[in-house]
Chain A
Amino acid sequence: MTSSLSIRRLSRLAYGGIWSLPLPLWLAGFFLGPMILLIWLSFWDVKNFLLTPDFQLENWKKMLSAPYFWAAYLRTFIIAISAAALVSLIALPCSLAISFFLSVRARMVVLGLFVVPFFTSYLVRVYSWQIYLTENGIVMKLLAAIGIDSGSLLNTPLALMIGLVTLTLPLVIVIQSISMLSLDKTLIDAAYNLGCGPCRVLFATVLPAVRPGIVLGALFAFIFSFGDFVTATYLGGGKFTTMSILIADTVKSGQQWPRAAVVALMMIATLLITALASIAFAYRRT
């Protein structure tokens, strides 16, 4: 009796383990492992162009005292936070339209249409924007046709924002829409019954209630804009050196991986703090 019970228990444990363990183990081996190595790597030394495991603070001192590092850090942060604000503003009317002004069927189709571009090659779409914005490109010719002499729009902050909106808009619209769709509709009716006009309903009822969705949407836009290196490289033309470009250049041009690791860890720390602060703000009680 007891032995058959323990066998059943064992087989139940085995059944649980078969399903619970594979992904966590894989991620421990090939995601957590690399991340921990990244931390260690930031203390290594480079001797005669060879990486040497070590424990010294030289890389951190070097990077954190370099003006070009802080310039890149500030630039990346400003670009990402501007993109997050801009994308959230553009997404808001879209999400309102999807959640409140469309039929159930149309809503599904439109959300689907917004999701598709997110999973298509961002590289090729950036190349397309290059074609639009370059010297003698489509936008310049169209503007010239109505009498505006614009010059190349490439390598401007505007080009960067166009790229980052392209990258993050679908994600932000989906997050905002999900939170609007789960909103209790009786809340809105109650506000109308109490005599609020549409504007008051929007600003006093809807927006406060969907604050988590708006904040999380902005957070995702920030995360993706902060980490992206394609936009700044191909729409910024190397004029806007971001943290990601710093890493890519350092790794691809030589053996200074430990210094790139410092930059990478500073990025992760920034994203972590931003994420925790946003989540705290999103779910804060008013």
Chain B
Amino acid sequence: MRVSALTRRLAVIFMGLALIFLYAPILTNFVFSLNSDRFPTVPLGGFTLEWYRLILADALVIDAFKNTIKIALVVAPIATIMGFAAAYADYRFNFIGKRLVLIFALMPPLIPLVVIGLAMLAYLSRIGLSGTLPAIVVSHIVLTSPFAMAIIRLRFSQIDGDLEFAAQNLGASNWRAFWEVIIPSTKTSILAAFLLCMAVSFDEYAVTWFVGGLEETSSVRILSFLQSAVSPRINAIGSITFITSITLILGAQILVLRRLTRGNS
């Protein structure tokens, strides 16, 4: 757009301020996790690792982290495979009601978490699952697979649809064409989807809190801490969860972006 340099600069500065606004709560969390004062404010106290020591000695926190990792490691592969299957089916096949199925598959992240939490709790109680780790796994797959499907579907939209049929015309079977053509061209997006599912599962607290009963994940532990009192221990757990999810998301983004830039050249 042909606008004055001043307008451009003002818009970019405003955008920068919005970024600072979004990162401010993340940055202060790191600062206060290392601050010796019990009450978090300025001026800062001294440097300490005491809060990290406290949470690492807390059995509840350790158990919660163990649960979180276990759940994410089961959820991410299943959600990624199901998301991939749905994306591939949408790209490859035509069937009646396909659009409807697609919209339905994208619904779960749009329903308020408390509503899903309540519905899941009632449903899983009836089949005797509520209050267990499998209950959390089942719900997380519902919440994460739409993300996997969306990110892999995006990749399929860039693939030449005739490539697979060309392979079949040359005599390759369905499966052979699948392994030789589809998997190589979608594998980065599959990995990106995997990382994204892990990140979403890692930070989910609401549905987990409803269906998990006494089983806690790290996010639910944070919720319990928040309900009791202000403590720099929340900052310490927070830092660990921030580092984990930021690493996962950056990894997913780099995979997607590298592919995009390579596709342009």
Q: Does chain B have a CB within 8 A of A138?
A: yes
Q: Map CB proximity to B onto A72-98 as digits: 1 under 8 Å, 0 otherwise.
A: 000000000000000000110110111
Q: Does chain A have a CB within 8 A of B101?
A: yes
Instruction: List, in ascending order, chain B residues with CB within 8 A of A122's CB.
Output: 203
In terms of DSSP, what is the predominant structure of the interface of chain B? Answer: helix
Among the listed stretches B51-59, B69-77, B84-92, which one makes contact with chain A, having 4 or more residues with CB under 8 Å of it?
B84-92
The reply to whether B114 and A198 contact each other, CB–CB distance below 8 Å, is no
B111: contacting residue among A120, A136, A227, A260, CB under 8 A: A227
Q: Map CB proximity to B onto A95-121 as digits: 1 under 8 Å, 0 otherwise.
A: 011101110000010101111110111
Instruction: List, in ascending order, chain A residues with CB within 8 A of B105's CB.
Output: 23-24, 27
CA distance A165 to B95 in the complex (A): 40
CA distance A226 to B234 in the complex (A): 26
The reply to whether B112 and A244 contact each other, CB–CB distance below 8 Å, is yes
- Minimum CB–CB distance from B63 to chain A (whole Å) comes to 18
- Minimum CB–CB distance from A52 to chain B (whole Å) comes to 13
Chain B: number of interface residues, binned into ranges: 35 or more
Q: Map CB proximity to B onto A14-48 as digits: 1 under 8 Å, 0 otherwise.
A: 01101110111011001111110110010000000
Q: Map CB proximity to A onto B89-114 as digits: 1 under 8 Å, 0 otherwise.
A: 10011010000010011011011111
Q: Does chain B have a CB within 8 A of A240?
A: no
In terms of DSSP, what is the predominant structure of the interface of chain A? Answer: helix
- Minimum CB–CB distance from A176 to chain B (whole Å) comes to 12
The reply to whether A136 and B123 contact each other, CB–CB distance below 8 Å, is no
The reply to whether B41 and A137 contact each other, CB–CB distance below 8 Å, is yes
Q: Does chain B have a CB within 8 A of A214?
A: no
List B3-32 residues whose CB lies under 8 Å from chain A: 3-4, 7-8, 11-12, 14-15, 18-19, 21-26, 28-29, 32
- Minimum CB–CB distance from A226 to chain B (whole Å) comes to 7
The reply to whether A260 and B118 contact each other, CB–CB distance below 8 Å, is yes
- Minimum CB–CB distance from B244 to chain A (whole Å) comes to 9
Known A-B contacts A128-B25, A131-B40; the reply to A257 vs B19 at CB < 8 A is: no
CA distance A19 to B14 in the complex (A): 46
Q: Does chain B have a CB within 8 A of A141?
A: yes
Q: Does chain B have a CB within 8 A of A146?
A: no
Q: Map CB proximity to B onto A126-169 as digits: 1 under 8 Å, 0 otherwise.
A: 11111110101110011000000000000000000000011001
CA distance A80 to B96 in the complex (A): 37
Known A-B contacts A31-B108, A247-B114; the reply to A165 vs B21 at CB < 8 A is: yes
Q: Does chain A have a CB within 8 A of B120?
A: yes
The reply to whether B83 and A23 contact each other, CB–CB distance below 8 Å, is yes
Instruction: List, in ascending order, chain A residues with CB within 8 A of B249's CB.
Output: 115-116, 119-120
Instruction: List, in ascending order, chain B residues with CB within 8 A of A30's CB.
Output: 120, 123, 138-139, 141-142
Q: Does chain B have a CB within 8 A of A63?
A: no
CA distance A124 to B120 in the complex (A): 25
CA distance A90 to B14 in the complex (A): 9
B122: contacting residue among A12, A34, A119, A173, CB under 8 A: A34
- Minimum CB–CB distance from B108 to chain A (whole Å) comes to 6
Chain A: number of interface residues, binned into ranges: 35 or more
The reply to whether A123 and B219 contact each other, CB–CB distance below 8 Å, is yes
Instruction: List, in ascending order, chain A residues with CB within 8 A of B262's CB.
Output: none
Instruction: List, in ascending order, chain B residues with CB within 8 A of A33's CB.
Output: 123
Instruction: List, in ascending order, chain A residues with CB within 8 A of B183's CB.
Output: none
List A199-257 residues whose CB lies under 8 Å from chain B: 201, 206, 223, 226-230, 234, 244, 247-248, 251, 257
Instruction: List, in ascending order, chain A residues with CB within 8 A of B196's CB.
Output: 119
Instruction: List, in ascending order, chain B residues with CB within 8 A of A121's CB.
Output: 203, 205, 219, 222, 238, 241-242, 245
- Minimum CB–CB distance from B177 to chain A (whole Å) comes to 10
Q: Does chain B have a CB within 8 A of A174?
A: no
Residue of B whose beta carbon sits closest to that of A132: B28
Q: Does chain A have a CB within 8 A of B192?
A: no
- Minimum CB–CB distance from A28 to chain B (whole Å) comes to 9
Q: Does chain B have a CB within 8 A of A268?
A: yes
Known A-B contacts A137-B41, A247-B118; the reply to A26 vs B25 at CB < 8 A is: no
CA distance A244 to B11 in the complex (A): 36
Instruction: List, in ascending order, chain A residues with CB within 8 A of B222's CB.
Output: 121, 123-124, 127
Instruction: List, in ascending order, chain A residues with CB within 8 A of B119's CB.
Output: 34-35, 37-38, 264
Instruction: List, in ascending order, chain A residues with CB within 8 A of B101's CB.
Output: 24
The reply to whether B108 and A101 contact each other, CB–CB distance below 8 Å, is no
Known A-B contacts A34-B122, A37-B123, A96-B11; the reply to A124 vs B238 at CB < 8 A is: yes
Instruction: List, in ascending order, chain A residues with CB within 8 A of B112's CB.
Output: 223, 226-228, 244, 264, 267-268, 271
What are 5 inter-chain pairs, A to B, with CB distance below 8 A? A16-B93, A26-B82, A94-B15, A97-B8, A102-B12
- Closest 5 A/B residue pairs (Cβ): A227-B112, A128-B25, A124-B238, A34-B119, A34-B123
Other A-B contacts than A19-B89, A23-B86, A128-B26, 14 sampled, CB-CB below 8 A, are: A19-B86, A22-B82, A24-B104, A38-B119, A97-B14, A101-B12, A120-B203, A123-B205, A124-B237, A169-B18, A173-B18, A229-B206, A264-B114, A271-B112
